[in-house]
């Protein structure tokens, strides 16, 4: 099974590379930030609560259908905090797997609002649950703006629920000035996420780049060398996926709360895809597909039938 999956990935990478060369864009993996609202106040957040807009469910599903028809294979629901809207989130998860037959459906969350009954109800359609955790020191989490003193026990509880209900458990960590010296090896080894994505804290113009924006992340920034030192300290974790700024900045295809593709080069967002279609919307923004492939944007993103995953698994990740 692993060999077959690896071969399929190689074939798809070849196809994607060919399309890149001829200028065609395929929205293989889309991050849909359907809300900007959040119940936390992380100081380095790069997708801030500048609006309270959220589309109705019918329009969201129509947009997701267009994306699937254009070649989307994976959807990641993000925010803001997606679990502020559990009913809509659950409906979209079920729609994407049952109706659109997407290979992978994932959610990224701060973990504070995740409930066991939600996972029990939707686990059959949810492949990956990614929980953001920037420190295993609660004082650091509070200083960042993510924690309220219970981030770590919540993380362990969610990891256990994911194992119980057969959902792949992932951890996202933003490496920044407050946690760059931390040694997280013991906790990562105990939690055994199938992927541990470590991002270098990123400055995004208009979101977190000055005192004029909702967040000013400059006090959290670190050098490339400091980020590399953090990754080197944790190199023994097989699930580690480092993501420095050079790979992160423009390699994500982001759909915002107005159903527009965002452009991280400073250009205006696209028109809503329900108005102009996916192809035309993609043509109007810059998405670095080569960096998407280089950072490991393609991997085995469908949960295995046997449920085996994690840093301790014998099965190696392709990326």
* Ordered strands of the 195-200 beta sheet: 240-243, 195-200, 168-175, 128-132, 104-109, 74-78, 29-33, 254-255
pLDDT at residue 127 is higher than 50: yes
Contact 36, 262 (CB under 8 A): no
* pLDDT value of residue 267: 72
Q: Which of 42, 133, 162, 231 is catalytic?
A: 42
Q: What is the pLDDT of residues 205-233, one digit of tens each?
A: 888 788 888 888 899 999 999 999 999 99
pLDDT attached to residue 264:
65
Catalytic annotation, pick one of 38, 96, 162, 311: 38
As a whole number of angstroms, the distance between CA 310 and CA 128 comes to 12
Ranges 146-150, 178-182, 240-244, most confident: 178-182
User: Tell me, what DSSP letter sits at residue 206?
Assistant: T
| Span 24-33, pLDDT tens digits | 688 999 999 9
Respond yes or no: is residue 10 known to be catalytic: no
DSSP for 112-149, written as a single string: TT--HHHHHHHTTT--EEEEE---SSHHHHHHHTS-SS
96 is catalytic: no
How far apart are the C-alpha atoms of 270 and 64, rounded to whole Å? Answer: 16
Sequence spans of domains, the chain: 26-295
45 is catalytic: yes
Does the pLDDT at position 204 exceed 90?
no
Would you say residue 287 has pLDDT above 90? no
Domain 26-295 CATH (choose: 3.40.1280.10, 3.10.129.10, 3.20.20.70, 3.30.450.20): 3.20.20.70
Over the stretch 41-97, which tens digit does the pLDDT of each residue have? 888 888 888 899 999 999 999 999 999 999 999 999 999 999 999 999 999 999 999
Which candidate in 10, 45, 133, 198 is catalytic? 45
The number of angstroms, rounded, from the C-alpha of 249 to the middle of its chain's C-alpha atoms is 13
Task: Band the pLDDT of 1: cuts 50, 70, 90.
Answer: very low
% of the chain beyond a pLDDT of 70: 81
Give pLDDT, residue 295.
62
């Amino acid at each position: 099974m692993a060999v077959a999956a690896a071969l399929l990935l190689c074939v798809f990478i070849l196809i994607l590379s060919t399309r890149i060369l001829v200028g065609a864009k395929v929205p293989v993996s889309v991050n849909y930030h359907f809300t900007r609202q959040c119940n936390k106040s992380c100081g380095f957040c790069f997708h801030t609560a500048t609006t309270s807009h959220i589309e109705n469910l019918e329009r969201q599903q129509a947009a997701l259908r267009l994306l699937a028809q254009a070649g989307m294979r994976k959807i990641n629901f993000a925010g803001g905090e997606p679990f502020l809207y559990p009913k809509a989130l659950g409906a979209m998860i079920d729609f994407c797997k049952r109706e659109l037959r997407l290979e992978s459906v994932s959610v990224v969350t701060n973990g504070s609002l995740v409930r066991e009954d939600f996972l029990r109800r939707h686990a059959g359609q949810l492949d990956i649950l990614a929980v953001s955790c920037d420190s295993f020191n609660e004082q650091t989490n509070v200083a960042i703006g993510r924690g309220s003193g219970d981030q770590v026990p919540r993380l362990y509880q969610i990891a256990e629920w994911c194992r119980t209900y057969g959902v792949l458990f992932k951890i996202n960590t933003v490496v920044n000035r407050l946690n760059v010296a931390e040694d997280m090896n013991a906790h990562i080894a105990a939690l055994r996420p199938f992927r541990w994505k470590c991002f270098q804290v990123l400055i995004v113009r208009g979101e977190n780049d000055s005192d004029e924006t909702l967040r000013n992340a400059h006090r959290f920034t670190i050098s490339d060398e400091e980020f590399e030192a953090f990754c080197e300290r944790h190199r023994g974790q097989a699930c580690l996926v480092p993501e420095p700024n050079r790979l992160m900045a423009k390699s994500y295809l982001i759909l915002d709360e107005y159903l527009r593709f965002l452009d991280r080069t400073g250009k205006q967002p696209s028109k809503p895809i329900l108005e102009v279609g996916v192809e035309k919307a993609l043509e109007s923004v810059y998405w670095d597909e080569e960096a998407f492939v280089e950072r490991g944007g393609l991997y085995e993103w469908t949960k295995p039938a046997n449920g085996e995953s994690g840093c301790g698994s014998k099965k190696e990740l392709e990326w």
